[in-house]
Structure 1
Amino acid sequence: MTLVLYHSWYGSTRRYAEELAGRLGARLLPLEEAGDHPAAEGEAIIVLSAVHGPVMPAADYVRRRPDLVRRHPVAVVNVGMTLLEEARAKDPLSRVLGEAAEKVRRFYLPGRMAYSELSAKHRVVMRSIIAALKAKPQKGPNERAMIENYGRDVDWMDMAELDPIVEWCKEAQQAT
């Protein structure tokens, strides 16, 4: 059996988690309800969350519970607006996970940024980030994409990107 945990601010991570749980026949639970020992011994655990700047709830959850990695195959999934190539190359989850990173499978999924749904606080943060990026003399592809898409509702979600996670889970279940 597999357990899919998720934390979602605006809904795209929840949509990915629901689709993933459906494909795997897995239990689905919001991260806030998971507690410290959410799964049976050896059960695969996949934890998804969106990225909000330096905040990565899925990685924080796993890092704070080293027993999970000892007792379960664990994958952490970041959903975000960073271009996939850059997210995968920089692998920010490895930094946040710390020592657990070598035992945790890490995945990155393209997200959705619906400016029309953002909280006032989040809108102010995004305006500040974009202003700083515009002032930056040399911009990379990800920074240019952020500026170009600022203020627009952008949906890069792609359920086909769940396929490698499903494959990892099947392999992890066979190994236990």
Structure 2
Amino acid sequence: MSDFIVAFESAYGSTQQYAEALAKRFGVKALSLDQARAELVGKTDARVVVLSFVHGPLNPGAKFIVDTELSGHRVALCTVGMTLDDVAQKKDGVAKSLGRKADQVTRFYLPGRLNYSELSTAHRSTMWTIVNMLKAKPFKNDNEKMMIDTFDKDVDRVDLSNLDAVEKWARS
């Protein structure tokens, strides 16, 4: 059977929580993106699952996939964020970030955790600006309403059962 490599980049912990839970299912250790890059040297048929947070256009996992030679490997990217699940799946925002590799990467979207009590000053200021801009909009979609309603609150939407689909993909 192929090797499983679970790689992640986490900003506030929910992506790491998912990565460690998935790695445990495969009997491997969750690796940082740099560790995974080194682990891939010499391997030709690994199942590579990359988990990454998304902050606006920033998705370190997508960048890792674009910048890393992954020929011969089955690759999935799990993006962890606060966008409502159906909106994230429909929008598939990471496809553009993957560029020419988008068709070679299976994509999953996982609900995350956003604890305002733990945010950096810069991230908190950015969220304040976004939410105030959204408040000024005359018509808001459900995702925008959720952002306004949850502003300055600790919200945990992590659901490890969402890893079932990722595991099924990796083992198939």
Same fold (TM over 0.5): yes
Deviation at 1:37, TM superposition (A): 6.2
TM superposition shift of 1:33: 3.1
TM-score by length of 2: 0.94
Listed as ranges, the gaps of 5+ residues in structure 1 are 172-176
Fraction of identical pairs, as percent = 44
Tell me the distance in 2 between the aligned counterparts of 1:46 and 1:134. 37
- Which stretch of the first structure deviates more once superposed, 27-36 or 94-103? 27-36
- CA deviation string 1:139-167 (max 9, x = no partner): 11100000000000000000000000000
**Aligned residue pairs, count:** 169
1:61 corresponding residue in structure 2: 64
Separation of aligned partners in 1, 2:36 and 2:167 = 21
What is the CA–CA distance in structure 2 between the aligned matches of 1:61 and 1:42, rounded to whole Å?
Answer: 18
Alignment of 1:27-176 (within 5 A): 27-35=29-37, 38=40, 40-65=43-68, 67-68=69-70, 70-171=71-172
Residues 5 and 36 in structure 2, CA contact (< 8 A), matched pair in contact too: no
Letter in 1 for 2:62: A
Asked whether the equivalents of residues 20 and 29 of structure 2 are also in contact (C-alpha less than 8 Å), the reply is no
Offset of residue 35 of structure 1: 3.1
Q: CA deviation at 1:24?
A: 1.4
- Cα-to-partner distance string for 1:50-94 (whole Å, 9 max, x where unaligned): 1111101101110122x31x2200000100000000000010111
Between the aligned partners of 1:85 and 1:41, the Cα distance in structure 2 is 34
| Cα 1:30–1:8 shift into 2, 3 Å | same
Stretch of structure 1 that moved more, 38-47 or 17-26: 38-47
Q: Secondary structure at the match of 2:37?
A: coil
Runs of 4 or more above 4 Å deviation:
none
Distance in 1 between residues matched to 2:38 and 2:61, nearest whole Å = 13
Equivalent residue of 1:35, what SS?
A: helix
Aligned-partner Cα distance in 2 for 1:126–1:137: 19
Distance verdict in 2 for CA 1:129–1:145, change over 3 Å: same
**Partner Cα separation in structure 2 for residue 132 and residue 138 of structure 1:** 12
RMSD between superposed Cα atoms in Å: 1.2
Partners of 2:101 and 2:22 lie apart in 1 by: 23
